[in-house]
Amino acid sequence: MSDVRSIAQLAKQASGILSQLTTEQKNHALLQMAAALIKEQDSIIAANQLDLEAGRHNGTTESLLDRLALNPDRIESMAEGLRQIVELPDPVGDTLEETTRPNGLFIRKIRVPIGVIGIIYEARPNVTVDAAGLCLKTGNAVVLRGGSAALHSNDQIIKVLKSALKSSSIPLDALQLINDPSRASVDEMFKLIGVLDVIIPRGGHSLIQNVVMNSKVPVIETGAGVCHTFIDDQAQVTMAEAIAINAKVQRPSVCNAMETLLVHEAYAAKHLLSLGEQLKNLNVEIRGCSATRKLIPWANAADEEDWSTEYNDYILSVKIVANVDEAIAHIQKYGTQHSECIVTENSDHAVQFLNEVDAAAVYHNASTRFTDGFEFGFGAEIGISTQKLHARGPMGLPALTSTKYIIHGNGQIK
């Protein structure tokens, strides 16, 4: 039996115990974990130094090194994340439906933990703490498989968190780290049907595609966002500009940032040049359709590939469309069903857009940057699902649960 399988089976055994714990027992453990991170932060920072040195040695970019780096502030923020999870309501045990049938059967549908959750992620060591906290709060065992860049950091973080579990009701085996950077360890996870109940990938496009294409274990797909903002002919100019600029530049590296701006031809004729100038001053490169390039002379030409590219950068593709129908058709063809926005004062156009655009989150007169578990009021987020099964859009704690029917009878037979 491979190491990966035996590690996951330990998690599975622990999941039975974990599923029966009270909210108080789980919250106690989360607070112990937060305290241990603070108390043992020197050991974590020392381990993180080893990763940073290896990263520098390998020529890792400064921005990646920055994501990887830990310091007392960042460790405090990881600990604070755990304390915030303590404050959230525990969805496990909630009754979702109940009914008494004519034959007297009393049927209740309740929330239960999923069981064992696999998380495959990249460099940021804060995901290690965050995912562990969210899974344990929902009564799930977790098998974490972090990226090679954070090997030492993750190893030490898990040691510290496990030491905290010793004085809690949570079995130590509920928290597992596969600290093997080889591709083989991921491939092994993909085969663990019946051991892992779900795999959630968190990271870039190629990581997510590898999981979606190769896992035999069910996957919750997260991530890719080719998000659009459509400025209608009946948009308020100041609102349209504020929303478009915010959606593009407030944080271009994230999945809910805008990648393509669609502009009604009537709006474009009057106002696109001004918006283009504002974007230029914010260092945004514009790649436009031919009509756009007539209005914005410095725009580069967008090619077919641009319309489906998630730049995650200060680059924006711009297309001029004849009407809301053409905007919707473009989004259906090139979008990733993540977050889409219409800016308009015309309520018919808004309703049509909101109804017909098929995406996890569709906005009328607000920036796509709000697609986020915290902004939606969930108090936490394990990721943003871009698939249609189980969970769609930002996933809070309930997305980490399954359900179970409990049926009380008094001898009913069929």
Q: Residue numbers of the site for its own copies (CB under 8 A)?
A: 16, 19-20, 99, 101, 105, 107, 109, 112, 114-115, 193, 197-198, 212-213, 216, 218-220, 236, 239, 242-243, 246-247, 250, 332, 354-356, 358-367, 369-371, 375-377, 387-390, 392-393, 402-414
Please state, in angstroms and rounded to a whole number, the distance separating the CA atoms of residues 387 and 393.
8
Report the alpha-carbon distance of residue 34 to residue 133 in Å, rounded: 10
| Cβ 92 vs Cβ 138: under 8 Å | yes
| Shortest Å, Cβ 15 to its own copies | 9
CB-wise, 149 or 186, nearer to its own copies? 186
- The least CB distance from residue 390 to its own copies, in Å, is 4
Kindly state the tokens that stand for 404.
């179970």
Helices (H), 94-180: 126-137, 151-165
> Which of 159/390 has CB closer to its own copies?
390
Residue 23 CB, nearest approach to its own copies (Å): 15
In whole angstroms, the minimum distance from the beta carbon of 109 to its own copies comes to 8
List the beta bridge partners of residue 218: none
Residue corresponding to tokens 């596969």: 178
Phi/psi class of residue 392: alpha, beta or left (left: φ > 0; alpha: ψ in -120 to 50)? beta
Smallest separation (angstroms) from its own copies to the CB of 352:
9
Q: In angstroms, what is the minimal distance from the CB of 357 to its own copies?
A: 9
Nearer to its own copies, 19 or 234 (CB): 19
Nearer to its own copies, 217 or 296 (CB): 217
| Cα 244 → chain centroid | 22
Toward its own copies, which CB reaches closer, 167 or 355? 355
Smallest distance, its own copies to C-beta of residue 241, A? 10
82 by Cβ neighbours in 10 Å (0-12 / 13-18 / 19+) ranks as: buried
Give buried/exposed letters for 254-263 (b at 16+ CB in 10 A, else e). Answer: ebbbbbbbbb
CA distance 189 to 49: 29
Q: Is the Cβ–Cβ distance between 8 and 189 less than 8 Å?
A: yes
Q: Give the count of beta carbons closer than 10 Å to the beta carbon of residue 59.
A: 6
**Rounded to whole angstroms, what are the CA distances from 58 to 51, 52, 61, 150, 206?**
10, 10, 9, 13, 21
- State the nearest-atom distance from the C-beta of 309 to its own copies, in Å: 16
- C-beta closer to its own copies: residue 181 or 398: 398
Closer residue to its own copies, CB minimum distance, 34 or 219: 219
Q: What minimum distance in Å lies between the beta carbon of 120 and its own copies?
A: 17
Q: Looking at this protein, which amino acid is placed at residue 23? A: T
Q: At what angle do helices 183-190 and 205-214 cross, to 10 degrees?
A: 40
Which of residues 20 and 182 has its CB atom nearest to its own copies in the complex?
Answer: 20
CA distance 75 to 64: 18
Q: Which is nearer to its own copies, 129 or 363 (CB)?
A: 363
Question: Angle, to 10 degrees, between the axis of helix 41-57 and the axis of helix 72-87?
Answer: 120
Of residues 72 and 218, the one with the C-beta less far from its own copies? 218
Q: Which one, 121 or 190, has the nearer CB to its own copies? A: 190
Question: First vs last Cα of the chain: how many Å apart?
Answer: 44
| Distance in Å, CB of 178 to its own copies, minimum | 21
Question: Can you list the alpha helix ranges (DSSP code H) found in 282-346?
Answer: 290-295, 324-334
Least Å distance, CB 264 to its own copies, is 18
Compute the distance between CA of residue 239 and CA of residue 24 in angstroms, rounded to an integer.
46
